[in-house]
Chains A and B, each alone.
Chain A
Amino acid sequence: MARVSIDQQTHGYYQQVSEKRGDVPPLFPTMKDAFMYHFALGVRNGVRESLGKKVDVFQTDVLKADDAALIRAVYLRESGDIMSLDAGEGETKIPEPALEMAEEFANAGAELARRAFSPVKPEESLSYILLDPNAV
């Protein structure tokens, strides 16, 4: 089963946004949710960044259909080749390069978000970052 990784430098931030804060539920219930959020930010802002030291955060089987569809659609958009959708025998129907692309977008998106993230108003900041391209 393929694994999804993040850069080690953003691992702390990931933990911050995906762990329980006392009695308050985590901002993102799973690492996968956090990953998808930052992936979207990276895509919107058109930034990709290769991962340095990788930290595996989840396996691809936790990705839901819509998550996979997002990654594949973006990958399709990026490649412009419908044949890129061919995932071979993979269970997630996400080609390996698409996952790598997703990791790079998420890595850059996490970096952007981390800078704009407000620990005081985490929900507000994360939602505004999502909705406003100028927020990062």
Chain B
Amino acid sequence: MIIRSVVLNNIRSYSGKWEIDFATDVQRNVTLVEGVNGTGKTSLFVAINWALFGLGYRYTGYMIHEPLVRKEAGSTVSGSASVRFAHNGEEFYLSRGITAQLTPDGKIVEKESGLEMYRTDRGGNAKPERFPQNWIDSILPPPIRTFFFFDGDKISEFARPGRERDALITKAVNDVLRLDLLDRAERHLQMIVRDIEKEEGKLSPRVNELVTSREDVRAQITTAEERAKRIQAEIDAATTNLGKLSAKLQSLAEVAEKARRREGWESELSQILARIAACKAEIMEATRQAVAYPVREQLQAALSLLDERRRKREIPANYKDQFLRDLLKMQKCICERPLERGTREWQHIENLLKAAIPGGVQEQALELASAVRRIIAGIDESVSRLRSKQEELERLSVSRDQLEAAIKSLGEKIRSDLAEGFRGLENDRDRTQDELTNLRIDSSRNNDELKRLRYEDEHLDREIKRESAKEESLRDLREQHAFASDAARAFSSIKDRLITTLKDDMGVEATAIFKAFTWKTNYFDHIQVGDDYLIQLIGVDGTDLRGGVSMGETQLLSLAFMLSMIAVSEYEAPLVIDTPLARLSAEVRTNLLKALPSLTRQLVLLCTDTEMNKEARRALGDAVGREYNLSFNAGVSAITEAVSA
């Protein structure tokens, strides 16, 4: 970057529009701005910084021309700072605006009102840039610009350790060495390493654990399969048993056969009972008919009595009595001899007739004899029939008893068969059926468990395959980890070497610059940029002389350090220094001013009149291309271009 001109409009102590052109010639590259204290040097320095870098640049007071705002109370006051510069053969115009308003409580509120940039390429084509600040930052990164734009009074701080300074220098070094790229690469690699480590954590080998789990599951599968076989065997046994029981139950059909047999017997018994009843009736009939049997002897005796009378022809005596009555009537014997009344024969015949059984009795006796004979004749038959019936009844009774006993026995057998058979068999069958049901439930559960275990086994197989793949990934990752770690270490090492080299280069540059500035060339040997970029002034005896140097020398050392940074950075930008020579003695100042123009492409010095005395001005010689004097009148700075020396 080579600044061609700066235009200020109502900025800081500058009211209205002020333009200042900068020396751009290679040989006459110094722009010298002189002014006593309070004439606007720092305002110009701040305005240039603000124009280029915006409010990010720290400054005190307001950017707007404050008296104008207070004067125009109630109105919004606008201001701007514009910079024209060249960079890499292209021309740039940059303008930054600001508005300000006075608040009722007397404060001023500023607001950047816009930033615009036009870029004119080598062909003369100008076009606005959409992101002007990015352009500026890329041309001169923020940490680096500190080494180009600085307050001379404060550069000693670069020689003293401090958090802010360290961070700034580290950042600047990183920018100079493009270490950000290496840093990003290293961080990226470290991130990759961390990611890989996380992945490694995720991929922590589970294969062994899974294989163990799978072995457990397979053992359980084997157990469950054996159990399934055992249950199936029990189911088969129970089923067979059930079949047998069912067959036994079917065998109870024999009971029905017994019942049929009993029915036959009962029918037979019924017939026998009917026969017995009939037989009993016949017995009674025969008994009644044989009622004469007990009195047989008496009947026989009565009949004998009657027969005796018959033998005696007392019965029937009808013909004999008639014959006797006829003899008496005819009074002659059967032999025809006369039978006379009163004779013994007559008397005898009359006695015979008197003794004769009356006819009625004889008839009854005959009738009775006949009846008794018939009765006696019938006794045997009736008794025989009675005995026959008794025997028949006895046989029937035996048959009845046998049948009844058989029927009873068969009934008991049937009842027993039914009771024992049905109850026992039913109990057995129910028990077996229950057992079978339980076994089937067991089997179902076992099968479910088996299914689950097989699913788990398959799942574990898949997991193991996945984990094995992860192991391969892990091996890859470990290789990547090793590679990334090595690469990160390599980047770190490269960065360290670059920094070391940079420090060495800076040391060489700073040594040369410092030797050009100082008069104590015999006392020190070289400048060494140590850790944290602290400058070590190494004496000829190899000791660090920094503890014995003055504030001015410290300022020189810092300047040398900063210039060395500019030298090694290879950035091209104007070196703009506000009050660069305040602490320096005449000789040193002369040395500095003689050396400084050649150490940078463009040099802008904002000096007080005491800094830039004649001797100093002579030291600059023809290097000054543009020279301005600042004045301050009625609260307003003014710039007047001086005649070039």
**Which residues of chain B come closer than 8 Å to A116, judged between CB atoms?**
none
**Are A69 and B386 closer than 8 Å at their CB atoms?**
no
Q: A69 with B372: in contact, given A130-B291, A130-B294 (CB under 8 Å)? A: yes
Contact call B292/A131, Cβ cutoff below 8 A: no
Given A82-B365, A124-B393, A70:B299 Cβ within 8 A? yes
Nearest-CB residue, chain A, relative to B357 = A82
Main secondary structure on A side of the interface with B: helix
Which listed segment binds A: B279-287, B421-429, B536-544, B631-639? B279-287
CB of A83 within 8 A of CB of B288, answer no
Chain A residues with Cβ under 8 A from B450's Cβ? Answer: none
User: Which of B314, B360, B389 has the most chain A CB within a 10 Å cutoff?
Assistant: B360
Residue of B280, B309, B314, B357 ringed by the most chain A CB atoms within 10 A? B280
In the complex, the answer to whether B302 meets A74 with C-beta atoms within 8 Å is yes
B161 to chain A, nearest CB (A): 146
Q: Of all chain B residues, which has the CB nearest A66?
A: B375
Give chain A residues whose Cβ lies under 8 Å from the Cβ of B302: 73-74, 76-77
B294 touches A40 (CB 8 A): yes
Q: Is A61 among interface residues, defined by CB-CB distance under 8 A?
A: no
At the interface, yes or no: A12 with Cβ under 8 Å from chain B? no
**B390 close to A82 (CB less than 8 A):** no
Chain B contacts for A28, CB-based, 8 A: 284, 288
B409 to chain A, nearest CB (A): 23
CB contact list, A53-86 vs B, under 8 A: 65-66, 69-70, 72-74, 76-78, 80, 82-83, 85-86
Q: Does B169 contact A (CB under 8 A)?
A: no
The smallest C-beta distance from B553 to any residue of chain A, in angstroms, reads 163
Q: Known: A72-B368, A76-B305. Is A127-B293 also a contact (CB below 8 A)?
A: no
* Contact B372 A73, beta carbon cutoff 8 Å: yes
Determine the distance from Cα of A27 to Cα of B282 in the docked complex, in whole angstroms.
10
The answer, yes or no, to whether B469 is at the interface (CB within 8 Å) is no
Q: With A69-B375, A76-B306 in contact, is A44–B295 under 8 Å at CB?
A: yes
Min Cβ gap A50→B in Å is 20
Residues of chain A within 8 A of B309, CB atoms compared: 82
Closest B residue to A75 by beta carbon equals B302
Q: How far is the CA of A78 from the CA of B534 in the complex (A)?
A: 186
Q: Note all chain A residues with C-beta closer than 8 A to B303.
A: 73
Chain B residues whose CB sits within 8 angstroms of the CB of A66 once the complex forms:
292, 371, 374-375
From B297, B298, B372, B393, residue with most partner A Cβ within 10 Å: B298
Complex Cα distance, B365 from A128, in Å, reads 32
> Knowing A33-B288, A37-B291 touch, does A69 contact B357 (C-beta < 8 A)?
no
A83, B286: Cα distance in complex, Å: 33
Among A41, A93, A130, residue most surrounded by chain B Cβ atoms (within 10 Å):
A130
User: Which chain B residues border A83 with CB–CB below 8 Å?
Assistant: 357, 361
Is A133's beta carbon under 8 Å from chain B? Answer: yes
Contacts of B249 in A (CB 8 A): none
Closest-by-CB residue of A relative to B386 is A127
Q: Which of B283, B293, B368 contacts A85 (CB 8 A)?
A: B368
Contact B280 A123 (CB under 8 A): yes
* A106→B363 CA distance, assembly (Å): 28
Q: Chain A 35-58 against B: per-residue CB contact (8 Å), 1 yes, 0 no?
A: 011001101110000000000000
Interface check B387, CB cutoff 8 A: yes
Assess the B293–A131 pair: CB atoms within 8 A.
yes
Assess the B390–A124 pair: CB atoms within 8 A: yes
* A28→B289 CA distance, assembly (Å): 11
Query: Considering only CB atoms and an 8 Å cut-off, how many residues of chain A contact the other chain?
Result: 37
- Judged by a CB distance under 8 angstroms, whether B490 is at the interface is no
Cβ contacts under 8 Å, B365 to chain A = 82, 85
The interface residues of chain B lying within 8 Å CB-to-CB of A24 are: 277
Q: Is A108 an interface residue (CB 8 A)?
A: no
Structural contact, B375 and A126, CB atoms closer than 8 A: no
Q: Taking CB as reference atom, which chain A residue is nearest B383? A: A131
Query: Hey, which chain A residues are within 8 Å of B306, CB to CB?
Result: 76, 82
Q: Which residue of chain A is the closest to B308 with respect to CB atoms?
A: A82
Question: Is B301 engaged at the interface, CB distance under 8 Å to the other chain?
Answer: yes
B358 at the interface (CB under 8 A from A): yes
Is there contact, CB below 8 Å, between B364 and A93? yes
Closest chain-B Cβ to A17's Cβ sits at a distance in Å of 10
Q: How far is the CB of A103 from chain B (nearest CB, A)?
A: 15
B506 to chain A, nearest CB (A): 152
Identity of the chain A residue whose Cβ is nearest the Cβ of B366 in the assembled complex: A85
Q: In the complex, which of the residues A70, A82, A127 contacts B295, with contact meaning CB atoms closer than 8 Å?
A: A70
Task: State which residues 350-392 of B face A: CB under 8 Å.
Answer: 357-358, 360-361, 364-365, 368, 371-372, 374-375, 383, 386-387, 389-390
Shortest B401–chain A CB gap in Å is 13
CB < 8 Å neighbour of B294 from A41, A86, A126: A41
Give the distance in Å from the alpha carbon of A121 to the alpha carbon of B284 in the complex. 12
Residues of A within 8 A of B294 (CB): 40-41, 43-45, 130, 133
Tell me the B68-125 residues at the A interface (CB within 8 Å).
none
Q: CA–CA, A82 to B372, complex, Å?
A: 14
A residues whose Cβ falls under 8 Å from a Cβ of B: 24-25, 27-28, 33, 36-37, 40-41, 43-45, 65-66, 69-70, 72-74, 76-78, 80, 82-83, 85-87, 93, 123-124, 126-128, 130-131, 133
14 contacts between A and B (CB under 8 A): A43-B294, A44-B297, A45-B294, A66-B292, A70-B291, A70-B292, A73-B372, A82-B315, A83-B357, A86-B364, A93-B364, A123-B284, A123-B287, A128-B390
Further pairs besides A73-B295, A83-B361: 18, Cβ < 8 Å:
A25-B281, A36-B288, A43-B298, A44-B297, A45-B294, A66-B371, A66-B375, A69-B375, A73-B372, A74-B295, A77-B298, A77-B299, A77-B301, A77-B302, A83-B357, A85-B364, A86-B361, A87-B364
